[in-house]
Structure 1
Amino acid sequence: MSVKTFNNIPLSVLDLAPVLEGSNPSESFKNSVELAQNVEKFGFNRYWLAEHHNMPGIASSATSVIIGHIAGATSHMRVGAGGVMLPNHASLVIAEQFGTLESLYPGRIDLGLGRAPGSDQATSYALRRTLNQNVEDFPLQVEELQAYFEGTARVRSVPGEGLTIPIWLLGSSGFSAQLAAKKGLHFSFASHFAPDYTIPALNLYRDNFQPSDVLDEPYAMVGVNVIAADTDEEAEYLATSQQQQFLSIRRGQPTKLQPPIEDIDSVWSEMEKAAVEQSINSRSTIVGSKETVKKGLEQFLEETQADEMIINSQIYDQKARIRSYEIVGDLMR
Structure 2
Amino acid sequence: MTKFSLLDLAPISPEHGIEHALSTVVDMAQAAERSGYSRVWYAEHHNMPIIASSATSVLIAHVAAHTSTIRLGSGGIMLPNHAPLVIAEQFGTLEALHPGRIDLGLGRAPGGDRNTLRALRRNPMDADRFPQDIAELQGYLNGNTVIEGVHAIPGKGTHIPLYILGSSLFGAKLAAQLGLPYAFASHFAPQALHDALDVYRRDFQPSQQLSQPYVIAAMNAVAAPNTARAQTIFHDMLRHRLKALFLPPEVAATITDNQVDDILESPQGLQVRTMLKYTAVGTAEETRDWAHGFVQETQADEIIVAHQAADAAERVRSVELFGQALLNNPV
Give the TM-score, by structure 1 length: 0.91
Structure 2 portions without partners, runs of 5+: none
Q: Which moved more, 1:313-322 or 1:237-246?
A: 237-246
Instruction: State the partner residue of 2:131.
Output: 139
Cα distance change of structure 1 residues 63 and 253 upon mapping to structure 2, 3 Å threshold: farther
Q: Secondary structure in 1 aligned to 2:65? A: helix
Contact 2:81–2:122 under 8 Å retained in 1:
no
1:277 Cα offset (Å): 1.3
Contact 1:245–1:254 under 8 Å retained in 2:
no
Mapping for residues 16-35 of structure 1, pairs under 5 Å: 16-35=9-28
Instruction: State the partner residue of 2:143.
Output: 151
Instruction: State the partner residue of 1:224.
Output: 219
- What CA RMSD, in Å, does the superposition of the two structures yield over aligned residues? 1.9
Cα distance change of structure 1 residues 271 and 36 upon mapping to structure 2, 3 Å threshold: same
1:254 Cα offset (Å): 6.9
Instruction: State the partner residue of 1:85.
Output: 78
Contact 1:55–1:254 under 8 Å retained in 2:
no
Instruction: State the partner residue of 1:200.
Output: 195
Instruction: State the partner residue of 2:280.
Output: 286
Instruction: State the partner residue of 2:326.
Output: 332
Distance 2:51 2:116 in 1: 15
Contact 1:232–1:288 under 8 Å retained in 2:
yes
Distance 2:97 2:20 in 1: 25
Q: How many residues are aligned here?
A: 320
1:278 Cα offset (Å): 1.5
Distance 1:53 1:253 in 2: 17
Cα distance change of structure 1 residues 17 and 219 upon mapping to structure 2, 3 Å threshold: same
The partner residue of 1:316 within 304, 310, 314 is 310
Q: Which moved more, 1:240-249 or 1:212-221?
A: 240-249
Instruction: State the partner residue of 1:273.
Output: 269
Q: Secondary structure in 1 aligned to 2:280? A: strand
1:22 Cα offset (Å): 2.2
Instruction: State the partner residue of 2:289.
Output: 295
Cα distance change of structure 1 residues 39 and 314 upon mapping to structure 2, 3 Å threshold: same
Distance 2:94 2:285 in 1: 38
Give the TM-score, by structure 2 length: 0.92
Distance 2:309 2:122 in 1: 36
The partner residue of 1:94 within 63, 87, 90 is 87
Cα distance change of structure 1 residues 94 and 118 upon mapping to structure 2, 3 Å threshold: same
Cα distance change of structure 1 residues 253 and 305 upon mapping to structure 2, 3 Å threshold: farther
1:270 Cα offset (Å): 1.6
Identical-residue share of aligned pairs (%): 44
Contact 2:239–2:257 under 8 Å retained in 1:
no
The partner residue of 1:307 within 301, 307, 316 is 301
